[in-house]
């Protein structure tokens, strides 16, 4: 076992890095020995994979529902299986961020604002629903609908109290 790269796959040093990542994520894995036996075994099992594929497989496994349910340590054969799974169509590693939406242009923003103004002009009942509930000082400002609801609740409570007082006398 030498650190020279094979024609395809990873080096012994890269296999050691994959093993180190797995050990960081799961300390139950066997710790590397001074002679490099464990690292060599992992290299022999993973030499057909690229470092990135093996790394992605380890991360994907330890962030998967399967690991959370079973809590089994990953073995080199599992790394190969997970790398194959990730390479299959439509199975990108879950931890990689998807690209976000393109930034909106000024024209797009203006168009959206115009559409919102038109909508709220045609549907004034939504104005109170989507109105900003805070004043400039940061206090909560009640809407007229909220005030009406509170007045109705207070009136109903007052009626109940008056009714109970009338029944007592």
In the chain, where are the structural domains located?
12-87, 124-168
What pLDDT is recorded for position 121? 67
What pLDDT is recorded for position 97? 47
All residue ranges of the chain with pLDDT < 70 are 1-8, 89-104, 108-109, 112-113, 116-117, 119-144
Model-level pTM? Answer: 0.50
Residues in Cβ contact with 38 at an 8 Å cutoff, skipping those fewer than 6 apart: 19, 30, 31, 32
42 CB neighbour count, 10 Å cutoff: 24
Query: Are 146 and 139 a contacting pair, CB within 8 Å?
Result: no
What pLDDT is recorded for position 156? 87
Q: What is the DSSP letter of 126?
A: G
């Amino acid at each position: 076992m030498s650190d020279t790269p094979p024609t395809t796959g990873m080096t012994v040093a890269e296999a050691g890095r994959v093993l180190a990542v797995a050990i960081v994520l799961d300390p139950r894995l066997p710790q590397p020995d001074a002679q490099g036996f464990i690292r060599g075994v992992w290299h022999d099992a993973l030499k057909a994979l690229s470092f990135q594929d093996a790394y992605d497989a380890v991360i994907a496994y330890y962030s998967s529902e399967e690991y959370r349910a079973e809590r089994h340590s990953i073995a080199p054969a599992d790394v190969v299986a997970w790398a194959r799974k990730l390479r299959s169509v439509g199975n990108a590693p879950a931890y990689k961020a998807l690209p976000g939406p393109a930034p909106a242009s000024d024209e797009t923003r203006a168009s959206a604002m115009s559409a919102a103004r038109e909508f709220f002009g045609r549907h004034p009942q939504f104005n109170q629903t989507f109105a900003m509930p805070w004043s400039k000082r940061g206090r909560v400002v009640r809407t007229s609908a909220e005030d009406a609801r509170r007045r109705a609740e207070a009136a109903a409570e007052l009626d109940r109290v008056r009714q109970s007082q009338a029944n007592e006398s």
